[in-house]
Chain A
């Protein structure tokens, strides 16, 4: 089992460009999450999906959109990147009835 995988590992964008961060899990989990991690601020929830076909906003959703393509995949899209979106992005998943979350290795994004 690969667990939670994320692509790409690194990305540099110019202000205004768009991109999609990909996440996939092979643990048959219903719930998936996107977080961002900034220095000194811990992780903050951007969006989450409780099941295939459903998504909901987290603490910091502005500037992002998500798609729960199927049970395995949950993507995060930046339509018009801004320097404030420079961060490390983590995807996570959890099993129904369990609070324990499994994290991917992260995507380091720099917006210039």
Chain B
């Protein structure tokens, strides 16, 4: 069964600094890995989905990389803004045959200070 870990649990950076968020997973035979954003009291919003055949995926200031051999994914947010303050979660399929069923990390809570 897939285990997903996110360290650190919380992170505070000054505005303008680049953010680096880490996600580790135990089963390297994953189909994909997703990054989500969650604002306080709200649901999750999908940010990026990286397929197993890809090494990275980009959307605006966000870039996510995937290294299956080391069991790691990293989300980079360039030039952070106070509006980037949220909890970021990564998720991978629960098992290799569990299409649609996701295993989530506990998340990294990010605060960007003005």
**Proximity bits, A73-109, B CB within 8 Å = 1, else 0:** 0000000000000000010101000011111111000
Chain A residues near B62 (CB-CB < 8 A): none
Q: Is the CB of A101 within 8 A of B106?
A: no
Given A42-B89, A42-B105, A43-B89, residue A105 in contact with residue B100 (CB < 8 A) = no
Inter-chain residue pair count (beta carbon < 8 A): 59
**Residue in A4, A42, A102 whose beta carbon sits within 8 Å of that of B4 in the complex:** A42
Within 8 A of A (CB), among B81-114: 89, 91, 93-94, 99-102, 104-107
**Complex Cα spacing A99 to B93, Å:** 9
Q: Is the CB of A90 within 8 A of B100?
A: no
Interface size on B (CB < 8 Å)?
25
Chain B residues near A41 (CB-CB < 8 A): 106
Chain B residues near A42 (CB-CB < 8 A): 4, 89, 104-107
A→B interface (CB under 8 Å): 4, 31, 33, 35, 40-45, 48, 50, 58-59, 90, 92, 94, 99-106
